[in-house]
Chain A
């Protein structure tokens, strides 16, 4: 009962977010109003990149028309405004991920750079000959290749935890692969190719029992799930701004402060130093130690606007709406004869990957495109996943909270058209 009362009080003290109004939300995304080939755009390629609300576009425009200056440098007013907006975004990201401290938020170009940063600093320092890095069979190339490069360099071994036929991580097998040789675990929170949500809490518990730190690739999770890095207890969490309705070229690495402090710098340059002489350089404190050079200031501020927008719509409302939409889409696509959904995990977010009998995904993509429907076809930068399911490629429809059931119906009609053409 106490819990209920607390919830009620919380609702009473904060203005409750407005009800989820899909028509109003679509109005916020200018790009969705356009027609392609004379047909309304049905954008179902959100896992590749998501569209931007007007609030984000306006923030970019405002920065470049009013506040454009470099950060952490000038004493002049515009530089102060730019610095303030940039650093405010760091606080917004901190709250968004529920990080304990603002200095645990490092700005990077995107998830790929975040993972490369950890591999080439933490990894280089802590992984040695004979050690192991443990990943899963669900990973995007960006959570495979940086570790391969590291392992090759250090004579270490990359281990891969298998998945089952539903596309779920086999936890018992994962646990068996953990050993004193394991120096880091790197795992996707949501699979970009299949939509599988991985059990990060259990993964972290298992890894921590062996004192192994965990990096989570959250590129596909952050746009769909509420992420709480303290509750997950992960050491590192990576995400991309452009998949989170923000601009391209900005991403976030969350790292526990203690680990970030112990890590060597990533790139050398301006802003990452305290003092430089030709004899010795003293590095700046975290997070600046990892932010050499002028960052993508405008994009960071745009990401802050995207987070404000998401909070305003309401993360819980978004999750609930998407849950219904994914269930609707899954049912509608699964019942089309000749269509097989790849990846049927019990817990999924945002993605439906499928193959069609007798039709190559690339042909399906072209026909759907002519219907105004944007999907991704190919291996989705996850070739090992494709190999696991014995398909060269899939067609992937990936959802965002601005998609509608009518758009799913358009996709289903498009699939029928593809089948007619190639039957």
Chain B
């Protein structure tokens, strides 16, 4: 597999073409904005919390294929997770895209997030892949500010 097709795996291209949970959420209990000044990617994450659990999640915004697919897949894997589980996944995801680990250690199972393994070969694109996750972190910690990757 070439590096390029390792980056743009079919699942990523599919989520870019048809992002899941791509909608504004009415009555969201939390909301956070993410911005990548380098390429102008912008997104808004909406969360519905049920106690400590993320019962629903959606997003809106515009960005490159990597950031759009990352946000889309994030909404799929994070729904139903507790705050601690979500943060643990963020750590594992971050290690994956920065090439520090492959999620097969003691951390949580990455599941379909593994399609982002190719990102580590493209340092300039790590911010694209992690924008949605940084935004999730800020939504969960309730900072309520625009999350910037810079």
Q: How far is the CB of B16 from chain A (nearest CB, A)?
A: 7
Residue contact B65 to A367, C-beta cutoff 8 Å: no
Closest to A358 in B: B17
Q: How far is the CB of B3 from chain A (nearest CB, A)?
A: 7
Does B28 interact with chain A (Cβ within 8 Å)?
A: no
Residue contact B40 to A392, C-beta cutoff 8 Å: yes
A-B CB proximity, top 9 nearest:
A392-B40, A360-B64, A362-B64, A362-B39, A393-B40, A363-B65, A370-B4, A363-B64, A378-B39
Does B55 interact with chain A (Cβ within 8 Å)?
A: no
Taken together as a complex, chains A and B put the C-alpha atoms of A367 and B42 apart, in Å, by 22
Does A287 interact with chain B (Cβ within 8 Å)?
A: no
Query: Which residues of chain B come closer than 8 Å to A360, judged between CB atoms?
Result: 39, 63-65, 68
Taken together as a complex, chains A and B put the C-alpha atoms of A172 and B50 apart, in Å, by 60
Which residues of chain B have a CB within 8 Å of any CB of chain A? 2-4, 7-8, 13, 16, 38-42, 62-66, 68, 122, 124-125, 128
Query: Which residues of chain B come closer than 8 Å to A121, judged between CB atoms?
Result: none
Taken together as a complex, chains A and B put the C-alpha atoms of A377 and B7 apart, in Å, by 18
Does A157 interact with chain B (Cβ within 8 Å)?
A: no
Closest to B40 in A: A392
Query: Which residues of chain A come closer than 8 Å to B40, judged between CB atoms?
Result: 378-379, 386, 392-393
Does A421 interact with chain B (Cβ within 8 Å)?
A: yes
Interface centre among B8, B13, B39, B68 (most CB of A within 10 A): B39
Residue contact A362 to B62, C-beta cutoff 8 Å: no
Contacts of A345-379 to chain B: CB distance below 8 A: 359-363, 366-367, 370, 377-379
Query: Which residues of chain A come closer than 8 Å to B65, judged between CB atoms?
Result: 359-360, 363, 422
Query: Which residues of chain B come closer than 8 Å to A379, judged between CB atoms?
Result: 40
Number of residues from A at the complex interface, CB < 8 A: 16
Which residues of chain A have a CB within 8 Å of any CB of chain B? 359-363, 366-367, 370, 377-379, 386, 392-393, 421-422
Query: Which residues of chain A come closer than 8 Å to B42, judged between CB atoms?
Result: 392
Q: How far is the CB of A181 from chain B (nearest CB, A)?
A: 33
Contact of A366 among B38, B62, B63, B125 (CB under 8 A): B125
Closest to B62 in A: A392
Contact of B66 among A361, A363, A421 (CB under 8 A): A363
Taken together as a complex, chains A and B put the C-alpha atoms of A366 and B124 apart, in Å, by 9
Q: How far is the CB of A372 from chain B (nearest CB, A)?
A: 12
Starting from the known contacts A362-B64, A370-B3, A386-B40, 13 additional A-B residue pairs (CB-CB under 8 Å) come to: A359-B65, A360-B39, A360-B65, A360-B68, A362-B66, A363-B64, A366-B4, A366-B122, A366-B125, A377-B39, A378-B38, A392-B42, A393-B40
Query: Which residues of chain A come closer than 8 Å to B124, judged between CB atoms?
Result: 366
Query: Which residues of chain B come closer than 8 Å to A377, judged between CB atoms?
Result: 39
Interface centre among B4, B8, B63, B125 (most CB of A within 10 A): B4
Interface centre among A360, A377, A378, A386 (most CB of B within 10 A): A360
Query: Which residues of chain A come closer than 8 Å to B122, judged between CB atoms?
Result: 366
